Amino acid sequence: MTDFTVIGGPSSEQLARKIATRLKSKFIGCELRIFPDGESKITLKGNPSGKILVVQSIYPPVDSNLLRCLAITSQARTFSSQVYVVLPYMGYARQDRQFLPGEVITIKLVARFLKAAGASKVFIVDIHSTTALEHFTIPAKNISAVEELAKHFKKMALHDPLVVSPDKGGVERARNFAKFLGVDYTALEKQRDRKTGNVTIKSKGLDGVKGRDIILVDDMISTGGSIVKAAEFLKKQKSGKVYACCTHALLIGDAEKNIIKAGVTKIISANTIPGKTSTVDVSPIIAKAIT
């Protein structure tokens, strides 16, 4: 037994159990009641002791899951001065800077909330950008899931694979992913309309795509717009099979359907957000980062 108690928030109970097993720690679940007006009421199903690890992902409903995370954290703080908060998926991380005048940098506020609730350290799996981390005034650490995701592809029989990032911002992720597999990588040029959110691929013809199986790698898939446009582009370049791989598969609305329609063979993601595609377990890397 370690001196940790792991508290599994309602959005991450399964993952939290796995972390607790790896840490050989006590596990406590939470009861969630949602009142008719939409308020969340959290009850801890036991008393934590020692250092506390709160695990709660901030995926939709984002605001509710954030509030639940803050509620659990503040309750945990009454038992211990060392409360580590693990955010497998950190919603609001894309709001890390002002893109248009007047926009609120919401991640800055979320970072302040976490500190005020009693978090002494925060761990986030594949946060959207390191800029987001700079808004925290308590220690905030990113945990990369790239190797865990890449391991999944190592077992597959792919034809002359090429790792592709749908945008230049993701080139380092693609590089690390490709390095682990010992294959080539490249990044497309993507443009997003800041008002409509629509995505266009600006890249022209790409050499070295024809006939090769592609692993499209991104930190997250939300509406699927980025992956759809990238897959369509690669298919026009006569690529082989296209796989979409990301850490956080939000898959909002018809995202999955649209991605498959665009020619993607399979979507593979991590269990930071539980779902049909989340086959890659991040509990080993979280347990390792904590200790």
Binding site for ligand R5P (CB under 6 A): 166-167, 169-170, 199, 218-226
Residue 194: is it exposed, middle or buried by C-beta count within 10 angstroms (0-12/13-18/19+)?
Answer: exposed
In the annotation, is 190 catalytic? yes
Q: Which one, 77 or 192, has the nearer CB to ligand R5P?
A: 192
Residue 287: in which H helix or E strand, if any?
Answer: helix 283-290
Overall residue count recorded for the chain in this entry: 291
Q: Judge contact between 12 and 280, C-beta under 8 A.
A: no
* Active-site choice (190, 229, 257, 261): 190
Q: Judge contact between 278 and 270, C-beta under 8 A.
A: yes
Number of continuous H segments (helices) and E segments (strands) in the chain = 9, 16
Q: Show Cβ contacts of residue 24 under 8 Å, excluding neighbours closer than 6 positions.
A: 1, 2
Minimal distance, residue 234 CB to ligand R5P, in Å = 15
Minimal distance, residue 164 CB to ligand R5P, in Å = 12
> Which residue, among 37, 92, 27, 86, has the nearest Cα to 62 in the 3D structure?
92
Minimal distance, residue 16 CB to ligand R5P, in Å = 25
Q: Which one, 68 or 248, has the nearer CB to ligand R5P?
A: 248
Q: Which one, 174 or 181, has the nearer CB to ligand R5P?
A: 174
> Which residue, among 52, 119, 57, 97, has the nearest Cα to 79 in the 3D structure?
52
Minimal distance, residue 240 CB to ligand R5P, in Å = 22
Residues tagged active-site: 190
